Structure 1
Amino acid sequence: MVAALSCAAAVAQDKKTLAIVVKGLDNPFFEQINLGCQKWMSENADSDYQCLYTGPASSADEAGEVQIVDDLLTSGVAAIAISPSNAPSMANRVRAIAPSVPVMTIDADFLEQDRDLRATYLGTDNYLMGVKMAEEAAKLKPEGGTVCLQLGNVAADNINARAQGFRDTASGEKGIDRLTGQNGWTEIDGCPVFTNDQADLANQQMSDVFTANPDLDAFILIGGWAQFAPQAYTQVTDQVMDKLKSGELIIIAGDTLPPQTEAFREGRSHAQVGQRPFEMGYRAPDVMIQLINGEAVEDPLYTGLDVCNQEDPGFCKDN
């Protein structure tokens, strides 16, 4: 089995398992979900349930995540919360298994046509997250400009929803596949770029784009991948610090983990639009228990956003 289980999951075997399966254990964003899971465990030591946090070792291992879900559902869990890296592939496997236990999604959802497979989604309103990013970009570049979007996995529903929110808001139109001059915004050739959730690749892509496009106006990290490797991100942004300071080039990034808020305070991004992964991990076990008990649960369950910008550092000021 390709899973790498959290140490926090080593609990009494007689407890029923509430499984949280993330895209990859190498992503610090998901470690915040794990911390939420651990917090729930510490507060519910007398519960009949245990919170199991797991996923493939690498976020690039889409097939590995599908196999982990297959193994868990086959071996028997009380309920499962999945953050699908490849939404269609994961949905196909869940549909084939047809589990009798509750299935929900967390952080990332199934595609719309597959949402009958899960009881609810717990996480970010990802379309709104993209909207917020576009609003921050418009404040800094009211006339628009050339832009490169950096995305994650091609089939990640949450990332694609953010990109759609950004494009729709930047263009002022719905259903835009690519910005081609609407409201002054144009996506450059070679973009979007796809990181496959890899921080090293994300930073190399940024460096290559900056080198090949010295007149670029905006770089949008739809997810925070490059900033998850702070030393590499510092080196990349050192290439363009004069432009960042003058506002000639702007960087808007997703998420507000500690390395990212530090980058923001250093002027290496102009705005951060943050999710609340700890809350996702903390709330997921209770939602799964509600589903097990047959209780009505809202769909979706949004966890909110934190926006930091130059006018109002807010959450990023002290975190």
Structure 2
Amino acid sequence: MRNYLLPALASALVLAGVTAQAQDKQTLAIVVKGLDNPFFEQINLGCQEWMANNADSEYECLYTGPASSADEAGEVQIVDDLLTRGVAAIAISPSNAPAMANRIRQISPSIPVMTIDADFLEEDRDLRATYLGTDNYLMGVKMAEEAMKLKPEGGTVCLQLGNVAADNINARAQGFRDTASGEEGIDRLTGQNGWTEIDGCPLFTNDQADLANQQMADTFTANPDLDAFILVGGWAQFAPQAYAQVTDQVMDRLESKDLIIVAGDTLPPQTQAFRDGRSHVQVGQRPFEMGLRAPDVMIQLINGETVEDPLYTGLDVCNEEDPGFCEEP
């Protein structure tokens, strides 16, 4: 069992870090959904790279978040504590978009607030200056386009999502459904263009890799004729050993493309899964770029400069015809 920090302790550590930094430099805070997710560690590496490149800056980049991606309340508390103690600007990846927006509206901070990786819901976007990250609807479109190339007649499909209230994940699901169906605003695929979502799906992982793999295994067992499994985020692949065991169950079907897997993100364990034939397509985001660019965007906002909204960081698609980013390093 993982030994997660209690939310109160995590907040205390965050505040201690802010206090220490405030003695010399102003803090640019990046708050992610959970420190247990390797995707967000790439944002941290971008933040650290920015600091290495800007050692003489009056600002310092602080990367933080709750210990667990499932701790939505903990993320809200950390943001609350940072704003109370004082930071120069803040970039938030909200796990629960309505809850985070509600707290920001209550606090009404005087400093620049932006979102990174995941946005607020459309009705709450007046609360932030800009969004920096993936065009998540387009990411879902790309996933659907790749699935349709592999299964031109459609088929049965299961979408695996993250947190129920995560705006970025829901946007990807909408992009997938709209593109696969050829219609806009589809809540569920029920035969449009040959695509049908099976009973029990979509699945919600709460950003937990172990749960994601268990869901996959259960789905493959209960639906031996499933045509497509779509990992809208890469959670299951973040635990490569477990993911290998799950896909071992269906390797014959994956090799024949009787069953296809399309997955989000292109972290090293995921590109290895692609090379091993354990997925057919990876649609990758650019989290390192998000972390690298966020401090500069926050400084622009502090200085009152006009900043474009949204700021998209692009996508990398790996498939059989063009492995591209997923080729052997």
- 1:183-202 to 2 correspondences below 5 Å: 183-202=193-212
User: What is the CA deviation profile of residues 163-219 of structure 1, one whole-angstrom value per residue up to 9, with x for unaligned ones?
Assistant: 000000000000000000000000000000000000000000000000000000000
* Post-superposition CA distance 1:141-164 (Å, at most 9, x none): 000000000000000000000000
Equivalent residue number for residue 102 of structure 1: 112
C-alpha separation in 1, matches of 2:16 and 2:302 = 25
Q: How does 1:143-162 map to 2 (within 5 A)?
A: 143-162=153-172
**1:207 maps to 2:251:** no
- Distance in 2 separating the partners of 1:164 and 1:147: 14
State the match for 1:48 in structure 2. Answer: 58
Q: What whole-Å deviation, never above 9, does each CA across 1:249-268 have from its counterpart, x for those lacking one? A: 00000000000000000000
Residue 322 of structure 2 corresponds to 312
Tell whether the 8 Å contact from 1:8 to 1:38 is kept in structure 2 after alignment.
no
Instruction: Name structure 2 gaps, 5 residues minimum.
Output: 1-7
CA contact (8 A) 2:15 2:81 kept: no
Which residue does the alignment assign to 2:175?
Answer: 165
What percent identity do the matched residue pairs reach? 86
Other-structure match for 2:286: 276
Report SS of the residue matched to 2:157. Answer: strand
Report how many residues are paired: 319
Distance (whole Å) between structure 2 residues aligned to residue 237 and residue 126 of structure 1? 26
When normalised by structure 1's length, the TM-score is 0.98
Please give the alpha-carbon distance, in whole angstroms, between the structure 2 residues aligned to 1:115 and 1:318.
40
**2-structure distance, mates of 1:11, 1:91:** 27
- 1:14 Cα offset (Å): 1.8
Q: State how far apart, in whole Å, the 1-side matches of 2:58 and 2:294 are.
A: 15
Contact kept, 8 Å, 1:5 with 1:53, in 2: the verdict is: no
Gap regions ≥5 residues in structure 1: none
- Aligned partners of 1:198 and 1:225 also within 8 Å: yes
Query: How far is 1:19 from its partner?
Result: 0.1
| Alignment match of 1:15 (pick from 25, 34, 43) | 25
Pair 1:111-2:121 in alignment: yes
Aligned AA (1:237): T
Root-mean-square deviation (CA, aligned residues, Å) is 1.4
Question: Does 2:302 match 1:292?
Answer: yes
Partner of 2:4: none
Give, in whole Å, the separation in 2 of the partners of 1:246 and 1:184: 20
> How has the CA–CA distance of structure 1 residues 60 and 175 changed in structure 2, closer, same or farther, with 3 Å as cutoff?
same
Q: Is the 8 A contact 1:6 1:53 kept in 2?
A: no
Q: Deviations over 1:83-138 (max 9, x none)?
A: 00000000000000000000000000000000000000000000000000000000
The residue that corresponds to 2:192 in the other structure is 182
